[in-house]
Amino acid sequence: MDDILEILETNARVSLEELERLTGKKKKDISRALKKYEKQGVIVKYKTLLNKEKLKEEKSVMAIIEVQVSPQKDVGFDRVAERIYRFPEVKYCYLLSGTYDLLLIVEGKDIHTVARFVSEKLAPLSSVKGTVSHFLLKKYKEDGVTLVKNEKNQRLAITY
């Protein structure tokens, strides 16, 4: 992978000057490469990773949903996946090998919102044969970044 991409993957806010210093390439060459990567779809989005558990005012619920589907003739899983990933609740959609065909990561304001999405939008689709939902309880690491500090165990000892 290009060194520019490796740097951007770990820090999307890095400046052209810093990229120039880290790669030894000229700013105009870096700018040209970035435009090329964006046009080709290699760079899709510049992103900030938020630890939403630290945001007191904004809470949401995330669920991992395994979906078993019937592929469609001549298009396989692509058409079914597209129908599903277009729902605004779906944040991630992956094709899998194994028992389930698609893995979704879904977000809603509460557990009931996610449950309604599954029961009213996802499960009724004719191609969907079955779903299994897992609600995220705590995030420890995301995008290679540890989200929790080494906190002292706050549990009380149980004695008999």
Q: Give 27-49 pLDDT, tens digit per residue.
A: 999 999 999 999 999 998 888 87
Instruction: Note the pTM of the prediction, 2 decimals.
Output: 0.75
- The pLDDT-based confidence of 86 (bands split at 50, 70, 90) is very high
Each domain of the chain, given as residue ranges in start order, spans: 3-40, 56-137
Q: 102: Cβ–Cβ under 8 A, 6 or more apart, which residues? A: 66, 67, 69, 77, 80, 81, 84, 93, 94, 95, 96
**Confidence (pLDDT) at 104:** 98
List, for residues 2-30, the tens digit of each pLDDT value: 899 999 988 889 999 999 999 999 999 99
Q: Is the pLDDT of residue 155 over 90?
A: no
* Residue with the larger pLDDT of the pair 53 and 76: 76
List, for residues 105-146, the tens digit of each pLDDT value: 999 999 999 999 999 999 999 999 999 999 999 888 888 888
Q: Is the pLDDT of residue 73 over 80?
A: yes
* Residue with the larger pLDDT of the pair 112 and 152: 112
When pLDDT is averaged across residues 67-80 and rounded to a whole number, the result is 92
Q: Which of 49, 46, 57, 64 is nearest to 7 (CA)?
A: 46
Looking at the domain 56-137, which fold is it? Alpha-Beta Plaits (3.30.70)
Q: 79: Cβ–Cβ under 8 A, 6 or more apart, which residues? A: 72
